[in-house]
Structure 1
Amino acid sequence: MTELRSWWSGSPEPDTLEPPASFDTKPLKDGDLSGPETEHPLTRRIHILGLGSIGTFVAHSLRCLPNPPPITLMIHKRQQYEEFKRTGRVISLINKESEINDEQRGFDVDLFEGTTAERTGQWKYIPDQEWMKEVSNPVEEGEMLPSGELYIYCLIVAVKGHATVSALQSVKHRVDARTTICFMQNGLGQIDELNREVFTDPRTRPTYLQGVVSHGVYMTDPTTVVYAGLGTVALGICRDGDRYPLPPKTWNHNISELSEEERRKFHPTDKELFANLSSRYLLRTLTRSPVLACAAFPYLDLLQLQLEKLALNCVLNPLTALLDVPNGTLLYNNELATVERMLLAEISLVIRGLPELEGIPNVRGRFSAKRLEQLCHAITQRTAKNSSSMREDMRNGKKPELDYINGYIIRRGEEQGVKCALNFMLMQLVKGKHLFTKPGDAVPYATKRIRIQSDDADQPGTVTLSDESTPPRGSL
């Protein structure tokens, strides 16, 4: 029976919340991004788009803060909103180990009502308000737009990678250059796609933050998150290639020889990248949470952390999804170990050739195939009882995020003239398997039977395949 009380009173153990050490990666210090003491954000409100396990976990964690900011949950489906109302507008977070349940209230809602003729979304703001009482989070001056919607100053995006463009298209009219958007997603490449299709003008484009999440969380119902594994969130600013392009390959000047304008353009400091007030406010708010355990990193350090996680996801996610097995099944299997080594060798070749990492010390060692293999083995051991997110998506008939995981490696390899045949084949195999599974058809922990029509003249008729699926999450 879960116990209804807060389970993180007091400070977390500092030695358990440090991001994994990795060569020269070091968090930014408190004073590195400080601005004028008199600066005040336009509004304290934070919108959250994407209420899966990560988005719901972040919403709950921010409501636990002393003097929490107003949190607006952006809900696309009315059915999900009705479920949220039915549970009393409460989000629950359950510690899997202790079974302690913490409930948080006070969330406002933005409910999606459809798409306008201009292809933007129409949202209905529904404040949190008890019967005959004032609203919990009054709208501040300047927040309300003429359409009746609220301006979005800080936005946390936790939707699936393939839904990023359509999700941001629906709120495009509610953001501008003052806005900061923080992405907490798997994979890479979503921001490039957004800049091509949604925020095409660099002058009005929001500032982007990115988060690398290592917490273990999953949902048991639309308003309940189970906290299964202690982790961290590494945060950092995203360098806008249109505003701050990389130096030309023929560039042979030292930074000391550049004019101030050239130095700002090609070698911006992290303080300059954090020029937007909303980005500093959102960063400070997220790092206040002891549960999220956020740490801010310089841009290039965060990029390397993202690439490390991406390399591991390129192996663990598609293999466990294709074979329909928990992570630990990949351990001590010589045949699969050979596949992993070949994939990681291809991934290592692409990452070490990225122009963004040119000139950074230890890149060849950090992203060598041998070290990536060691990392992959360590993560597989640590998460042996877990079921990967891609495997769970496949089991529930959801589209896997391959285009932003293995697909990213394939695209960046093409830029360098590297044909990533192994990653491409694995991606196509998982996509092909996905076509056999439709929403509602997945049978997670029972016998599945697949009937295949044969066109072979020598073996006419149908073939029936029987598959005993693997044990449920955590039972390995």
Structure 2
Amino acid sequence: MDPSPPIYKIPPPAVARAVEIDEADVTLSEGAELRNTTATGDRIENEKESGGSVEGAAANPSTTTVEDIKHVEERRTPDESQQSLRQVGTSDKETDVALSRRIHILGFTAHARFLAHALASTPDVPVSIFALHRKVMSQWGEENRRLSLYDGQGRHISSIAIPCPERIPRPSPYYKYINGADYYLDHVIVDTGAAIRPVLDALRDRIDYRTTICLLHPGLGLVEELNEHVFTDPDERPNYVLGHSTHRVGKGSRGIYSMKHKQQGTLYLHGLPKHEGSTLDPSSVAHEAMQQTQHLTDLLSSTETLNVVGLPWVRFLSWKLPRLIFGSAADSISVIMGCKYKDVYPNRHARAMWDCLLDETIAIISQLPELQEHPHRIQYFTGNGFRRKLRTSLFGQGNNTSPWVKQVRMGQPPPVDYFNGYIIRRAEELGLEHKYNSMASDAVKARLIARQRELRSDIPSTSPYLMDTDVIGGGQPPPSLEDMLELELGDL
């Protein structure tokens, strides 16, 4: 991840509506109250860091010209039936720019279905889902072509009709000419347990500079990999929004199109700048990216269910790092040992690996350039309290198994490159030691290769079919690490 701060910030104008809910009409649990307080604090700090004016940050009149707006209008011509008008301020006038409202959900995890349900419940936001498995399409009609949401106690909240999910495989060449404007993807929210790079690679012919991709991935470094291997042309690359959700969502018991919303959370977003490597005018490219990422943020903010908050890079990074640090130690060790979370710490050899990985990872995190102007954040991550909370979270997983173990057992690569791999890359940039993270990454990949060889030697069609929503090893999806870190991070 580029350590330099972003050239613009995108706190969404609809955030105030998302967090300023009349609490007289809403009963919140203790954890939900903490999240609501944290979200409000994030919004207030965003306004301070952006000069107290969301409109000023979005418009950026010091760098935006009328010619820039015209350049955007010339490049983007979405289907008129799918577009909406936004006001984009300039130094001397306002110009209407047409932007699409279509959103595609890539993934079929419980959280992805929750996002689809929330957005499909919003008027004038067309939502569709990409499917990785045939079962997703075959079950659509059997479950009344609707997504059903339940609360943590299994009580029905609402159901919403959705279009039949579309298969991921790339369509035939003539598909582009049959579907016209519908061929290109305007907004893609990626929330899948499968490997993201090959999935987006299969869709790359439908993605270009007009597309905005929101990556709801717990790790970091995915954008760099996508730009290097999938979207190699800087002039045609999509726009990126990084996301981090604290909503607790689980599998429903009434079919694959149902899900349980166990606890209200917040969806944090950060729009990445876009200007490096492009042969076009940097100010025009940067403005176009800002406009389109802001538009997706507005669309996600249109439903109060998601509770959207836009964050500048340092605050967003502070939310991402705890899960990344935990996964680089707990998940990698779980794969190496082939064990559940609860079996890591009682084993003295695994405990030694845990301590070494944490020591090295936190040492690297404390040297990140973007954190150097925020010593209170460094102090939080290097303090003993943070380590105790990570250890408590490890014990709190109970009988659960790391999702990485499930992926390796299925012969799929776990996201080690976006956890330990991200730490390794940042250490190399800073000239720091990273031997423990490198050994952990190599061991996880070696375990994957051994498992893939094992699966190839099995008799075909005898292995059980597994979806990305299955849990291997018993138990429920692990409790969220944010439950214990919410208050502290909200105060940073």
Pairwise same-fold verdict (TM > 0.5):
yes
1:46 is aligned to 2:110: no
The match for 2:207 among 175, 193, 198 is 175
Q: CA deviation at 1:151?
A: 2.8
Q: CA deviation at 1:64?
A: 2.8
Q: What does residue 186 of structure 2 align with?
A: 153
Q: CA deviation at 1:46?
A: 0.7
Query: Are the equivalent residues in 2 in contact too, given 1:329–1:384 (CA < 8 A)?
Result: no
Change (3 A) 1:174 1:115: closer
Q: CA deviation at 1:329?
A: 5.3
Q: Which runs of structure 2 are paired with 1:219-368 in the superposition (5 Å)?
A: 219=251, 222-240=256-274, 242=276, 276-323=290-337, 326-327=340-341, 336-368=350-382
Q: Which runs of structure 2 are paired with 1:412-423 in the superposition (5 Å)?
A: 412-423=426-437
Q: CA deviation at 1:153?
A: 1.8
- Listed one character per residue, the Cα deviations across residues 134-161 of structure 1 (whole Å, up to 9, x for unaligned) are xxxxxxxxxx976574332211112347
Q: What does residue 64 of structure 1 align with?
A: 121
Q: CA deviation at 1:190?
A: 1.2
Query: Are the equivalent residues in 1 in contact too, given 2:421–2:441 (CA < 8 A)?
Result: yes
CA distance in 1, matches of 2:260, 2:101: 28
Q: What does residue 28 of structure 1 align with?
A: 46
Aligned residues: 397
Change (3 A) 1:109 1:305: same
- Listed one character per residue, the Cα deviations across residues 175-228 of structure 1 (whole Å, up to 9, x for unaligned) are 332321110112111110111122223333222100112333344654233334
The match for 1:75 among 101, 115, 131 is 131
- The two structures, once aligned, show a CA RMSD in angstroms of 4.2
- Listed one character per residue, the Cα deviations across residues 356-415 of structure 1 (whole Å, up to 9, x for unaligned) are 445444353233263541341354466546544324434555432212211221232233
Secondary structure class of the residue paired with 1:282: helix
Query: Are the equivalent residues in 2 in contact too, given 1:56–1:91 (CA < 8 A)?
Result: yes
Query: Are the equivalent residues in 1 in contact too, given 2:42–2:309 (CA < 8 A)?
Result: no
Larger mean Cα displacement after TM superposition, 188-197 or 363-372: 363-372
**Higher helix fraction: Structure 1 or Structure 2?**
2
Q: What does residue 239 of structure 2 align with?
A: 207
Q: What does residue 164 of structure 1 align with?
A: 196
Larger mean Cα displacement after TM superposition, 435-444 or 300-309: 435-444
The match for 1:473 among 472, 476, 479 is 476
- Listed one character per residue, the Cα deviations across residues 321-346 of structure 1 (whole Å, up to 9, x for unaligned) are 44555545557777655433321111
CA distance in 2, matches of 1:19, 1:384: 29
Q: What does residue 4 of structure 1 align with?
A: none
Query: Are the equivalent residues in 1 in contact too, given 2:244–2:267 (CA < 8 A)?
Result: yes
1:403 is aligned to 2:423: no
CA distance in 2, matches of 1:421, 1:175: 38
CA distance in 2, matches of 1:352, 1:295: 25
Change (3 A) 1:398 1:282: same
Structure showing greater Rg: 1
Change (3 A) 1:366 1:61: same
TM-score, normalisation: structure 1: 0.69
Q: CA deviation at 1:291?
A: 3.0
Change (3 A) 1:62 1:17: farther
CA distance in 2, matches of 1:218, 1:441: 26
CA distance in 2, matches of 1:63, 1:48: 11
TM-score, normalisation: structure 2: 0.67
Q: Letter of the aligned partner of 2:476 in structure 1?
A: R
Q: CA deviation at 1:309?
A: 2.3
Identity score, percent: 23
CA distance in 1, matches of 2:207, 2:101: 15
Q: Structure 2 stretches of 5 or more lacking a match?
A: 1-23, 60-86, 89-94, 457-461, 467-471, 480-492
Change (3 A) 1:184 1:145: farther
Query: Are the equivalent residues in 1 in contact too, given 2:147–2:162 (CA < 8 A)?
Result: no
CA distance in 1, matches of 2:384, 2:287: 34
Q: CA deviation at 1:470?
A: 5.7
CA distance in 2, matches of 1:205, 1:116: 22
